[in-house]
Amino acid sequence: MTDLNIPEQRNGIELEYDLNEPPQKVWRAVSTPELRENWLPRKALANPEAISVTPGKEVRYRLRDDAPPFFESTVTFRIAPNASGGTSLRIIHELDDVRLRQAANAAANNNGPRMMRAA
């Protein structure tokens, strides 16, 4: 039997943009609450505070869906200077709600109590 290299499946997307603005300006837009509110409203956040910050380089926020089942996810903004003097902005959005991990580990037959049908 041969081992197959199957890539790990992730519940997320990654987007990368090259912007004409300098990294400092993009950093202010993603890290300053008053500026961020214009494109990432507070009601979309599970917590208005960032969950981790590397000043000038990366900031992560916790998001929550506004409709049931209210899944939570993490969005990461990574900023780096690009070759043209602008900014490379990478946005990584991962659906990492605890309930999804529990469901993935559940047995297919649910291991629930057996019930017999009455004839």
Domain boundaries, the chain: 12-98
20-29, 76-85, 91-100: range with lowest mean pLDDT: 91-100
**Residue positions counted in the chain:** 119
According to DSSP, the residues that pair with 38 across neighbouring strands are none
CA 12 to chain centre: 6
**In which band, very low, low, confident or very high, does the pLDDT at 39 lie, cut at 50, 70 and 90?**
confident
DSSP per-residue string spanning 16-27:
EEEESS-HHHHH
The pTM (predicted TM-score) of the whole model is 0.72
* Average pLDDT of the chain to the nearest whole number: 82
Q: What is the pLDDT at residue 8?
A: 52
Cβ atoms of 33 and 47 closer than 8 Å: no
Q: What is the pLDDT at residue 114?
A: 63
**What CA–CA distance (Å, rounded) separates 50 from 94?**
15
CATH class of 12-98: alpha beta
